Amino acid sequence: MQANQPSVHIMHADAVMAAGIHALLAERGEFHLTLQERQPHGQAHARVIVADYDSGITLARQLSADRFGAAPRVLIVTQLDKEWQVRTAMDSGVHGYLLQGCSAEELLRAVQQLSQGMRYLAEAVTRCVADSLSRETLTGRETDVLQLLAKGCCNKSIARELGIGVGTVKTHVKGLMSKLEATARTHAVVVAAQRGLIGTGVRLPAPVPGRPGRGSGAMQ
């Protein structure tokens, strides 16, 4: 190991991804590389740690809470690209965010910038974060209501589930629809799924022929 080589520890949970990242960085010869599977002690001396989404967030939170001085920089490499997922990572203290499938050049650039104390976000992620900053965020209770809306619950059911009044539910529904710029309840669920605020596998309620569906603006 050369004295001027930044130490990079790779602890991606996907063994194939970890090996691929190691191979790509090793070709450049610019870093001292360690793998979690073979050299777990490398984490203690790393300037940059490359991790999967869950491991990266957990590590970033631990480092911000437990470590003083020059903590390592955390770079996440993941397929997750939804607004909520990216914001969660950045709010947790992650310094870099790359999407799987990025070029070797972008991976190298990201690791270089983090090793120099900077941050790095993939271009698509940068747009995602920029867009999210221009929108109002949902409150915790609005998110709870949204999750139940996605399951097709009416206001009375949501009120029972959350232990709040129907009037309060209506207020939360109105608030989240405004923040999501949705024209109907079903539209709010679709927008939220597209932004990663809820799972994309939710089954939206189908309208009954001749009757307004739950997606109408009516507050039940």
Note the pLDDT of residue 128: 66
Q: What is the pLDDT of residues 63-116, one digit of tens each?
A: 875 555 578 999 999 999 877 788 788 888 999 999 998 999 999 999 999 999
Ordered DSSP codes for 143-205: HHHHHHHHTT--HHHHHHHHT--HHHHHHHHHHHHHHTT-SSHHHHHHHHHHTTSS-TT--PP
Answer left, alpha or beta for residue 188, where phi above 0 means left and psi between -120 and 50 means alpha. alpha
Nearest partner of 17 among 53, 42, 60, 45, judged by Cα: 53
Inter-helix orientation angle 166-179/185-194, to 10°? 50
Note the pLDDT of residue 132: 63
CATH number corresponding to 140-194: 1.10.10.10
Confidence class of residue 123 from pLDDT cuts 50, 70 and 90?
confident
Q: What is the pLDDT of residues 160-217, one digit of tens each?
A: 999 999 999 999 999 999 988 899 999 999 888 877 777 644 444 343 334 333 333 3
Class of domain 7-133: alpha beta
Return the structure tokens found at 80: 């997750």
Q: What is the pLDDT of residues 29-42, one digit of tens each?
A: 999 999 999 999 99
Q: What is the pLDDT of residues 128-152, one digit of tens each?
A: 676 665 567 788 899 899 999 999 9
Q: Residues near 94 by Cβ (< 8 Å), separated by ≥ 6?
A: 56, 57, 60, 74, 75, 76
- Segments making up each domain of the chain, as ranges: 7-133, 140-194
Q: Strands across the sheet with 48-51, in order?
A: 32-35, 7-11, 48-51, 73-78, 96-99, 120-121
